[in-house]
């Protein structure tokens, strides 16, 4: 099972290829949901890697929710916004998350803004 293998891979590029394999298998099995989920995971990993290179924040392997949380905490609102749109996160959950993160940071100014 490629998904399992992907988690045993420490290196990101080999992990990606494992996931690619998993996706192909899912497509073959006509499991659309899983194929799509795998694809999204790959997109997320790529995004996280880019972020790590650019901003030096370690977040590879986190779930989408945690990634968003991280971004909001360190104040990368633009990136968070982009991620939120890309992955079609339901509004309700995103507001919850944003409020929580901002409250945790005690960033009341940002909170006033929306």
Least gap, CB of 19 to other proteins (angstroms): 9
Stretch that binds other proteins, among 30-38, 48-56, 74-82, 101-109 (CB under 8 A): 30-38
The token duo for 64 is 């989408």
> Smallest distance from the beta carbon of 2 to other proteins, in angstroms?
11
Handedness of CA 50, 53, 57, 58 (dihedral sign): positive
Q: What is the rounded distance in angstroms from the CA atom of residue 54 to the CA atom of residue 38?
A: 24
| 51, 78 contact by CB (below 8 A) | no
State the residues that interact with other proteins by CB under 8 A. 1, 3-4, 7-10, 15, 33-34, 37-38, 40-41, 44, 61-66, 87, 89-90, 92-93, 96-97
């Amino acid at each position: 099972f490629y998904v399992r293998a992907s988690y045993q891979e420490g290196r990101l590029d080999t992990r990606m290829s494992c996931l690619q394999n998993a996706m192909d298998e899912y497509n073959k099995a006509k499991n659309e949901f899983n194929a799509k989920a795998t694809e999204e995971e790959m997109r997320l990993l790529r995004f996280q890697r880019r972020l790590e290179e650019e901003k030096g924040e370690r977040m590879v392997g986190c779930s989408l929710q945690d990634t968003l949380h991280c971004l909001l905490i360190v104040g990368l609102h633009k990136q968070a916004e982009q991620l939120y749109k890309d992955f079609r996160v339901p509004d309700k959950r995103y507001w919850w998350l944003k409020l929580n993160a901002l409250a945790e940071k005690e960033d009341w100014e940002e909170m006033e803004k929306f």
